[in-house]
């Protein structure tokens, strides 16, 4: 073999080992388990890899190191005469050989194959299962030895215990990827889309914080504890709500709520009607509050911000909406406008959530933990509440304020350029 051919072969093998390493790490473990049930030939091989991940990774690393040593030797033989014609310094020659060899192997043997093999890792594993298995058998003794030595060092020198048997086969991310793949394969099934969306929402539920599903303080209905029962009756009649918050001195000092059913007992004052309401921080996970609701048989909680002020309220329905979608209840009185006016032109309520609009219209609004809604996005970039007919430009999004008050943005016109 000529040096050129040997270098080419080592580059291909290095790319192969690097790519198969990242393909195995990135593969959907749940898909591997499902493929195993079909009793296909490649599924049995991949299952061996899944049951011995350390052995597999060691095999890929050993194979890569072997071909890199061979590559380095022949690259030096190939480059030295060419570089020697420009300089006689041994140090410069060694430096240039190392630099050129490293750049080539990084691009051809690392970056490019890892990027390509990560695009569809499960299919890549199925396609190359047999050749990988051949190398797995060839390097098995060496890989077994190095894996064993590594475990001994970790256990006795660093006091780290490696227990692959108790490592979960797959997790939430694998489930989410599998569901997304299923949805893409069956786009025509509308009912399936809805079911898939609910399932994905359930998977993401543990990441939801109360600030994302709170009914804001500007939309709360509350009365002072010093008001008369007649005022409370009138508020129940006007709003149609079954529960009204009760505060003392200011809305930031909510002391509980009054239930309309207590009016049948003909109370003398509002104080005698007040029921306790759980108080929770806006950073609390929604699934934790749902558990507290079920445990304590409650359906509403007061949400406070980091300074102890009232951020809003959260009900059982608000939390469940994060999973199943919109549920019409007494707190959904406000109708949020969402109108497609033409190509790249919309009219939106300020309360509409960024994530929902991005998903529904593929708008690619910038996402941040600092805001949840259209109004929040505008306030974040504008720095203050704009006036009616003001224009606000954020990247390619041009907003015209159609309706606003001194405290909030209610309606905007959006045009995308």
- In this structure, of 176-185, 219-228, 234-243, the range with the lowest mean pLDDT score is 176-185
Polymer length in residues for the chain: 417
Number of domain units in the chain: 4
Same domain, 378 and 395: yes
What is the C-alpha to C-alpha distance for residues 355 and 360, in angstroms, rounded to an integer?
Answer: 9
pLDDT above 70: residue 235: yes
In this predicted structure, the answer to whether residue 334 has a pLDDT above a threshold of 80 is no
Among 157, 192, 224, residue at a domain's last position: 157
**Whether residues 305 and 378 fall in one domain:** no
What confidence score (pLDDT) does residue 332 get? Answer: 54
Classify the phi-psi angles of 293: left when phi > 0, otherwise alpha if psi is within -120 to 50, otherwise beta: alpha
Cα 59 to Cα 19, 102, 131, 216, distances in angstroms: 13, 22, 12, 56
Render the burial of 324-355: b for 16+ CB within 10 Å, e for the rest.
Answer: eeeeeeebeeeeebeeeeeeeebebbbbbbbe
Judged by average pLDDT, the poorest of 206-220, 332-346, 365-379, 397-411 is: 332-346
Domain extent at residue 385: 338-416
Same domain, 250 and 132: no
Q: For the segment 39-71, what is each residue's pLDDT rounded down to a tens digit?
A: 777 888 998 998 899 999 999 999 999 999 999
Whether 325 has a pLDDT exceeding 90, the answer reads no
Please give the pLDDT value at position 180: 64
Average pLDDT over residues 328-347: 76
The reply to whether 7 and 152 lie within a common domain is yes
Residue 43 burial (CB count, 10 A): 19
What pLDDT digit, counting tens, does each position of 266-314 carry?
999 999 999 999 999 999 999 999 999 999 999 999 999 988 899 999 9
126: pLDDT confidence band, cut at 50, 70 and 90?
A: very high
Query: What is the pLDDT of the chain when averaged over all its residues?
Result: 87
Q: What is the pLDDT of residue 331?
A: 47
User: Does 276 reside within a domain?
Assistant: yes
Specify if 51 maps to a domain: yes
Say how far apart CA 302 and CA 278 lie, in whole Å. Answer: 6
The residue ranges of DSSP E strands in 206-337, in sequence order, are: 215-216, 222-224, 243-247, 254-259, 279-281, 300-304, 310-315
Q: Is the pLDDT of residue 175 over 70?
A: no
Between 1 and 127, name the one with better pLDDT: 127
**Beta-bridge partners for 399:** 392, 414
pLDDT of 98 over the 70 cut: yes
Same domain, 118 and 153: yes
**Residue 284 to residue 274: CA distance in whole angstroms:** 25
Specify if 111 maps to a domain. yes
- 310-315 and 300-304: which strand pairing? antiparallel
**Domain-ending residue, one of 267, 294, 324:** 324
Q: Is the pLDDT of residue 6 over 90?
A: yes
pLDDT interval class at 87 (50, 70, 90) = confident
Rg over CA atoms, the chain? 31
The phi-psi region of residue 114 (left if phi > 0; otherwise alpha if psi is between -120 and 50; otherwise beta) is alpha
Mean pLDDT of 173-181: 64
User: 251 with 282, same domain?
Assistant: yes
Residue 356 belongs to a domain? yes
**Domain contains 330:** no
Residue 261 belongs to some domain of the structure? yes
Between 300 and 159, the higher pLDDT residue: 300
pLDDT value of position 179 = 62
**Has residue 402 got a pLDDT over 90?**
yes
In 139-269, where does DSSP find H-type helix? Answer: 140-152, 172-185, 190-204, 229-239
Query: What's the rounded mean pLDDT across residues 159-166?
Result: 64
**What global pTM score does this model have?**
0.54
Does 90 fall in a domain? yes
Same domain, 380 and 317: no
pLDDT value of residue 378? 94
Contact at 8 Å (CB) between 376 and 410? no
CA distance 283 to 280: 8
CA atoms of 382 and 376, how far apart (whole Å): 10
223 & 177 share domain = no
Task: Determine the average pLDDT of the residues in 386-401.
Answer: 94
Q: Is residue 286 part of a domain?
A: yes
Same domain, yes or no: 15 and 151? yes
pLDDT surpasses 70 at 251: yes
Q: Residue 322: how many CB atoms within 10 A of its CB? A: 17
The pLDDT of residue 192 is: 61
Same domain for 343 and 358, yes or no, is yes
Q: Which of 148, 180, 207 is the last residue of a domain?
A: 207
β-pairing, 222-224 with 243-247? parallel
Which tokens hold the place of 378?
């505008």
Q: Looking at the structure, do residues 220 and 199 belong to the same domain, yes or no?
A: no
Provide the CATH number for the domain around residue 411. 3.30.465.10
Whether residues 70 and 133 fall in one domain: yes
Question: Does residue 135 register a pLDDT over 90?
Answer: yes
pLDDT at 401 over 70: yes
341-376, pLDDT tens digit by residue? 988 899 999 989 898 899 889 899 998 888 889 999
């Amino acid at each position: 073999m000529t040096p050129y051919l040997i270098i080419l072969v080592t580059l291909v093998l290095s790319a192969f080992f690097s790519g198969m390493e990242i393909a195995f790490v990135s593969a959907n473990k749940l898909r591997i388990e499902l493929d195993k049930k079909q009793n296909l030939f490649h599924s049995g091989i991949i299952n061996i890899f899944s049951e011995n991940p350390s052995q597999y990774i060691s095999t890929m690393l050993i194979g890569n190191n072997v071909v890199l040593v061979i590559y380095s030797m022949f690259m030096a033989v190939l480059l030295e005469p060419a570089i020697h014609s420009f300089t006689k310094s041994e140090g410069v020659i060694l430096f240039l050989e190392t630099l050129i060899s490293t750049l080539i192997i990084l691009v051809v043997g690392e970056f490019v194959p890892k990027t390509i093999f990560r695009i569809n890792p499960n299919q890549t594993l199925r396609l190359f299962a047999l050749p990988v298995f051949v190398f797995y058998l060839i390097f098995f003794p060496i890989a077994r030895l190095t894996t064993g030595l590594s475990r001994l060092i970790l256990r006795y020198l660093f006091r780290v215990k490696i227990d692959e048997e108790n490592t979960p086969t797959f997790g939430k991310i694998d489930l989410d990827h599998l569901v997304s793949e299923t949805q893409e394969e069956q786009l025509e099934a509308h009912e399936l889309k809805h079911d898939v969306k609910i399932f994905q929402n359930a998977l993401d539920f543990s990441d939801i914080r109360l600030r994302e599903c709170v009914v804001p303080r500007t939309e709360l209905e509350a009365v002072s504890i010093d008001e008369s029962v007649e005022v409370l009756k009138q508020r129940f009649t006007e709003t149609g709500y079954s529960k009204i918050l009760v505060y003392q001195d200011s809305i930031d000092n909510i002391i509980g709520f009054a239930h309309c059913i207590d009016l049948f007992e003909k109370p003398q004052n509002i104080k005698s009607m007040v029921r306790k309401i759980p108080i929770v921080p806006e950073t609390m996970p929604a699934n934790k509050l749902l558990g507290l609701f079920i445990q304590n048989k409650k359906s509403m909680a007061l949400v406070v911000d980091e300074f102890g002020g009232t951020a809003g309220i959260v009900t059982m329905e608000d939390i469940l909406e994060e999973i199943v979608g919109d549920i019409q209840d007494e707190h959904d009185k406000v109708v949020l406008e969402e109108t497609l006016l033409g190509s790249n032109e919309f009219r939106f309520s300020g309360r509409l959530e960024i994530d929902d609009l991005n998903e529904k219209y593929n708008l690619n609004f910038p996402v941040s933990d600092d805001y949840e809604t259209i109004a929040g996005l505008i306030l974040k970039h504008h720095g203050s509440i704009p006036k009616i007919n003001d224009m606000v430009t954020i990247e390619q999004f041009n907003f015209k304020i159609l309706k606003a008050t001194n405290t909030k943005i209610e309606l905007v016109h959006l045009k995308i350029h």
